[in-house]
A and B are shown apart, each in its own frame.
Chain A
Amino acid sequence: NAGVTQTPKFQVLKTGQSMTLQCAQDMNHEYMSWYRQDPGMGLRLIHYSVGAGITDQGEVPNGYNVSRSTTEDFPLRLLSAAPSQTSVYFCATSGVGYGYTFGSGTRLTVV
């Protein structure tokens, strides 16, 4: 039982490149979300989904896209990477009455 799996763990991108951060969960939870962690800023919500086919913006959605075609997967797409997107990204899932379970994170550097 893996819980929440994020790939890759590390990534270096050049400015302007695009990429997809993968998140998969095996907990059958409806709610999934993406956060970014920056020094002094804590965890900020990027996008979230309350079920397959339903997504919405969080606090800092600009420059990111998401989709939710299955309960298990919630990929985060960077359309045109910028240095300001250098961060650690966490995917989390939650079921009704359960707390969040986080993945181990993706450390992204944009140069």
Chain B
Amino acid sequence: DQQVKQNSPSLSVQEGRISILNCDYTNSMFDYFLWYKKYPAEGPTFLISISSIKDKNEDGRFTVFLNKSAKHLSLHIVPSQPGDSAVYFCAASGSNDYKLSFGAGTTVTVRA
């Protein structure tokens, strides 16, 4: 049973607009959340993270929001660029736990 869920398999957005990717989790022991980006034929690369003591973390065009009560997080990309076209994975772990649980991924396509 997947503990991290990304219910939208794909997202298409126009260049310059906002991309919003959603992720839900079921395990209340998770307290660290990450987003990874993956291009074809490459391994996933770390994008941004947030710990459960925060509700927002920003890094340039990327912002992650965490709603602990709803067990929901989202990734905002503003503005979206063609190089953002990739698969985005949401991941989560518990305290002092190296293991990450991943969602199924969302494929983002940025249209010119």
Contact = CB atoms under 8 A, between A and B. Distances in A.
Interface of A: 4, 31, 33, 35, 40-45, 48, 50, 58, 90, 92, 94, 99-105
B63 to A, nearest CB: 18
A33 B99 contact: yes
Q: Is the interface of B mostly helix, strand, loop or mixed?
A: loop
Contacts of B99: 33, 45, 48, 58
A42 B34 contact: no
Interface of B: 2, 4, 6, 9, 34, 36, 41-46, 49, 89, 91, 98-105
A42 B106 CA distance: 9
Contacts, number: 50
A92 B36 CA distance: 13
Nearest to B103: A42
B98 A48 contact: yes
